[in-house]
């Protein structure tokens, strides 16, 4: 098998000895080693196709790896697995300024794609904490969300064209730059968000936006959850199309983030219950700044907001966003940590979070509960720090967080996906018939069950 794989990609593109594979041990913040018998680095769609033809014939299970930043155990491996890493498919093939599109191979790191668009005065409106490592293939296959979903939608909304390789090596290409195409099923959607279980994404065409010429951010402190909802409505109305971010941070979480570095000491005090970060992207700096500062002033006059800081320069703006994005500060607080990204209808979030916190506080091994999220999307993240860890303790915490999801018509995964870790809770968010249809799709596209086997279903 190794010899045949080397024949496809060349000797330098297959790692099969333990030492060389070390780089692949770094699945985000875990010490889980790559156990696969080999890691292979294709450089083209054709090579992926040949690898998959070989795997299909030999019933060889494959785990696809991108930037390894997923938080749901998707890229863990068994000794008998073959890892396909997209690291060497890292070319930005084209930026078409007239169509406002970007064609990228799936191993391109998000930050590189953002910079390339920026240099052409365009914007790829994807932004989240793992942008320095996460790759396009991982992002598309998990339909990542992030900090600007409120205005631009999830990754799914940003894709015009896609190319993928099926488990039997067949290449499915839908590399079109058009927005409207109702000629039958929208095949590319099958691969977006299916976490590599239906095909290996090799290329994508993104729809880009004109680069905004102004960006302003404010940090707002509030004492009451109803005021948080009022502030969201108030800003959506007042900023209309330019509101692009509305991030909510619970008081305890903000305190830990702010205290993590002296550089944050000029930010708002830590004695409030909630903090919101607002982002406005526009095209007229003077007008945008006046509008945002006026709205914040009004929010304070109306007693919606208690205190606020409008970033006056780039340094302050970056400081506010660094504080929000560096969630590793929270994860590092405890010996072990457990992450959640649930969706709930906005009005029930406070009540459900309080119920969960009350129950979690009763567990002796829980020493930190951090809550924050993309409130406008109804997406709440928990990072729960633990002094001890085992399967039972993890399960107990899962059950507390997921208890009322079904009743509230929420979701066990707003954006990180199901992977291996959340499989047993898929039925909190999906009906029996939905899961059956997923199984039918999987059986049709991957009859040998060799692609990311054991993920999602």
Ligand X SMILES: Cc1cc2nc3c(=O)[nH]c(=O)nc-3n(C[C@H](O)[C@H](O)[C@H](O)COP(=O)(O)OP(=O)(O)OC[C@H]3O[C@@H](n4cnc5c(N)ncnc54)[C@H](O)[C@@H]3O)c2cc1C
The residues of the shown chain that bind ligand X, judged by CB under 6 A, are 28, 64-71, 74-75, 86, 106, 128-130, 133-135, 137-139, 141-142, 144-146, 195-196, 200-201, 327, 415-416, 452, 455
- For residue 38, what are its two tokens? 């080999």
Query: Are 136 and 105 in contact, with CB atoms under 8 Å apart?
Result: yes
Q: Which CB sits closer to ligand X, 201 or 400? A: 201
- The residue (of 56 and 234) whose beta carbon lies closer to ligand X is 56
Torsion from C-alpha of 370, 374, 380, 383, nearest 10 degrees: -30
**What is the spatial distance between Cα 149 and Cα 156, in angstroms, rounded to a whole number?**
10
Which two three-digit tokens encode residue 27?
Answer: 């699945």
Q: How far is it between the farthest Cα atoms of the chain?
A: 72
Q: Which is nearer to ligand X, 291 or 374 (CB)?
A: 374
Contact of 88 with 43, CB cutoff 8 Å: yes
Please report, to the nearest 10 degrees, the dihedral formed by the alpha carbons of residues 114, 232, 376, 115 taken in order: 0
Enclosing H/E stretch for 63 = strand 62-65
By beta-carbon proximity to ligand X, the closer residue of 129 and 212 is 129
Residues 163, 104: Cα–Cα separation, whole Å? 10
* Least gap, CB of 294 to ligand X (angstroms): 30
CB 289 to ligand X: min, Å: 27
Query: Which residues 6+ apart lie within 8 Å of 5 measured at CB?
Result: 14, 38, 40, 51, 54, 82
Please name which of 8, 139, 136 lies closest in space to residue 82, comparing C-alpha atoms. Answer: 8
Closest to ligand X by CB, 102 or 305: 102
Token pair 């983030």: residue: 257
**Min dist. Cβ of residue 3 to ligand X (A):** 25
| C-alpha closest to that of 453 among 56, 61, 27 | 61
Shortest distance, position 226 Cβ to ligand X, whole Å: 26
Minimum distance from residue 374 beta carbon to ligand X (Å)? 7
Query: Residue 1 CB, nearest distance to ligand X (Å)?
Result: 20
Rounded to the nearest whole angstrom, what is the least distance from the CB of residue 371 to ligand X in the complex? Answer: 15
Residue 104 or 160 with smaller CB distance to ligand X: 104
Q: Tell the burial category of 171 from Cβ atoms under 10 Å away from its Cβ (0-12, 13-18, 19+).
A: middle
Q: How far is the CB of 383 from ligand X (least distance, A)?
A: 10
- Residue 419, helix vs strand vs coil: coil
Q: Between 24 and 225, name the residue whose CB sits nearer to ligand X.
A: 24
Q: How far is the CB of 327 from ligand X (least distance, A)?
A: 5
Residue 413 and residue 455 in contact, taking contact as beta carbons nearer than 8 Å: no
Q: How far is CA 236 from CA 243, 287, 378, 448, in A?
A: 6, 16, 15, 49
Is 74 or 227 the residue whose CB approaches ligand X more closely? 74
Question: Between 95 and 162, whose beta carbon lies closer to ligand X?
Answer: 162
Cα radius of gyration rounded to whole Å, the chain: 23
Number of C-beta neighbours around residue 24 at 10 A: 20
């Amino acid at each position: 098998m190794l010899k045949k794989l080397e024949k496809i990609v060349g000797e330098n593109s297959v790692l099969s000895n333990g030492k060389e594979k070390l780089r692949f041990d770094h699945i985000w913040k875990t010490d889980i080693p790559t156990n696969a018998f080999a890691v292979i680095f294709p450089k083209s769609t054709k090579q992926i196709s040949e690898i998959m033809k070989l795997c299909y014939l030999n019933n060889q299970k494959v785990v696809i790896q991108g930037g390894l930043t997923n938080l749901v155990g998707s890229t863990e491996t068994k000794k008998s697995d073959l890892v396909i890493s997209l690291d060497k498919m890292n070319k930005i093939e084209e930026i078409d300024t007239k169509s406002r599109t970007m064609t990228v191979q799936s191993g391109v790191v998000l930050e590189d794609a953002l910079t390339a668009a920026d240099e052409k005065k365009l914007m790829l409106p994807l932004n989240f904490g793992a942008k320095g490592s996460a790759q396009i293939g991982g992002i598309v296959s998990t339909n990542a969300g992030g900090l600007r979903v409120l205005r631009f939608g999830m990754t799914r909304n940003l894709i015009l064209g896609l190319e993928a390789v099926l488990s039997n090596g067949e290449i499915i290409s839908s590399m079109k730059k058009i927005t409207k195409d109702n000629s039958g099923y929208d095949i590319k959607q099958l691969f977006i968000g299916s976490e590599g279980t239906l095909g290996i994404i090799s290329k994508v065409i993104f729809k880009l936006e004109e680069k905004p010429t102004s960006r302003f951010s404010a940090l707002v402190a509030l004492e009451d959850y109803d005021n948080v909802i009022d502030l969201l409505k108030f800003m959506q109305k007042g900023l209309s199309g330019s509101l692009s971010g509305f991030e909510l941070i619970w008081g305890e979480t903000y305190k830990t983030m702010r205290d993590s570095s002296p550089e944050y000491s000029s930010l708002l005090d830590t004695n409030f219950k909630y903090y919101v970060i607002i982002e406005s992207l526009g095209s007229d700096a003077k007008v945008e700044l006046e509008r945002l500062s006026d709205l914040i002033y009004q929010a304070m006059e109306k007693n919606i907001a208690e205190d606020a800081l409008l970033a006056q320069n780039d340094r302050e703006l970056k400081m506010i966003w660094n504080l929000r994005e560096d969630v590793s500060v929270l994860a590092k607080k405890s010996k072990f940590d457990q992450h959640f990204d649930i969706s709930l209808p906005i009005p029930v979030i406070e009540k459900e979070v309080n119920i969960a916190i009350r129950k979690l506080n009763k567990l002796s091994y829980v020493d930190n509960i951090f809550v924050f999220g993309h409130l406008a999307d109804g997406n709440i993240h928990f990072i729960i720090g633990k002094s001890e860890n085992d399967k039972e303790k993890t399960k107990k915490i899962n059950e507390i967080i997921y208890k009322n999801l079904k009743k509230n018509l929420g979701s066990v995964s707003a954006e990180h996906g199901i992977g291996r870790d959340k499989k047993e809770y898929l039925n909190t968010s999906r009906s029996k018939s939905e899961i059956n249809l997923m199984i039918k799709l999987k059986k049709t596209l991957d009859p040998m069950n060799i692609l990311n086997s054991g993920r999602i279903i």
